């Protein structure tokens, strides 16, 4: 079963509460929240205050993708704001293992995000702490970019590695996911698709989510 996590980055920022309710009612499995600091990535989005304010608008899991450095000082604030899952980039702090331990200790699920140029080996000694692995299929920072097909092999390799581990680790893909690229992601082994433009940029959220979920 493929889960769809619409990325709020492509929503109408002047009506965010309404947008969150609409996408949850349209069948979104998770809500993907992109946190950008204008330093780790060249864009600024929003912080824990907004995550907290949106929390009462939907009960689906909040999947918080942190693109901030240093990341450690903010983990507690996002957990307190209502994140269910917190993902971070290995490059965003000095001690990835410790950061993952912190997320788990805060009662959240933990994810590691691999940029297009980040090798799978970054996960070598932390897999036992991962509930999710996120493969970036664009360079992080902006919505609406084109899918990097070079990441499909990475997804397929990770699928084999997760299956061999016997652990229930979600394999998520983020960036340029559309009805055209989603089937390739699913075929490679992804089981959670993040989609900004392909959901919030469409007139009918329910139809958009259903179209992405369908294995092509």
Q: Does 63 bind Zn ion (CB under 5 A)?
A: no
Q: Does 65 bind Zn ion (CB under 5 A)?
A: yes
Q: What is the largest CA-CA distance in the chain?
A: 45
Q: Which stretch binds Zn ion (CB under 5 A): 14-22, 57-65, 116-124, 181-189?
A: 57-65
List 34, 37, 63, 131, catalytic entry: 34
Closest separation in Å from C-beta 174 to Zn ion: 4
Is the preceding omega at residue 70 within 30 degrees of 0, hence cis? Answer: yes
Of 135, 168, 115, 141, nearest to 44 by C-alpha is 141
How far apart (Å, rounded) are the C-alpha atoms in residues 62 and 51? 9
Of residues 126 through 185, those in contact with Zn ion by CB under 5 A are 174
List 37, 63, 131, 174, catalytic entry: 174
Closest separation in Å from C-beta 166 to Zn ion: 27
Q: Would you tell me which residues interact with ligand DX5 (CB under 6 A)?
A: 7, 9-10, 32, 34, 65, 138, 140-141, 143-145, 174-177, 194-198
* Residue 172 φ then ψ, to 5°: -110, 150
Nearest to ligand DX5 of 160, 214 (CB atom): 214
174 catalytic, yes or no?
yes
Question: Among Zn ion, ligand DX5, none, what does residue 90 contact (CB within 5–8 Å per kind)?
Answer: none
Convert 119-145 into a string of H (helix), E (strand) and C (coil): CHHHHCCCHHHCCEEEEECCCCCCCCC
Nearest to Zn ion of 65, 184 (CB atom): 65
Of 53, 178, 66, nearest to 113 by C-alpha is 66
* Residue 119 φ then ψ, to 5°: -75, 155
Nearest to ligand DX5 of 101, 145 (CB atom): 145
Interhelix angle 205-213/16-25, nearest 10 degrees: 50
Would you please indicate which residues are annotated as catalytic (active-site) residues? 34, 174
- Give contact residues for Zn ion (rule: CB under 5 A): 34, 65, 174
């Amino acid at each position: 079963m493929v889960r769809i996590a619409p990325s709020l980055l492509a929503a109408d920022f002047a009506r965010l509460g309404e947008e969150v309710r609409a996408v949850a009612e349209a069948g979104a499995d998770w809500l993907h929240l992109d946190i950008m600091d204008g330093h780790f990535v060249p864009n600024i989005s929003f912080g824990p205050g907004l995550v907290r304010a949106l929390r009462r608008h939907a009960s689906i899991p909040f999947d918080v993708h942190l693109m901030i450095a240093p990341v450690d000082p903010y983990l507690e604030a996002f957990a307190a704001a209502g994140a269910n899952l917190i993902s971070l980039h290995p490059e965003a702090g000095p001690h990835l293992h410790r950061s993952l331990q912190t997320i788990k200790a805060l009662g959240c699920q933990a994810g590691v995000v691999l940029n297009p140029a980040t090798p799978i080996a970054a996960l070598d000694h932390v897999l036992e702490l991962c509930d999710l692995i996120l493969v970036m299929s664009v360079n992080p920072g902006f919505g609406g970019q084109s899918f990097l097909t070079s990441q499909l092999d990475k997804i397929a390799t990770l699928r084999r590695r997760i299956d061999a581990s016997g652990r229930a680790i979600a394999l998520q893909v983020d960036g340029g996911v559309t009805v055209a690229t989603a089937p390739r992601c699913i075929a490679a082994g992804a089981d959670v698709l993040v989609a900004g433009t392909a959901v919030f940029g469409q007139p009918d959220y329910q139809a958009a989510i259903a179209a992405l979920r369908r294995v092509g």
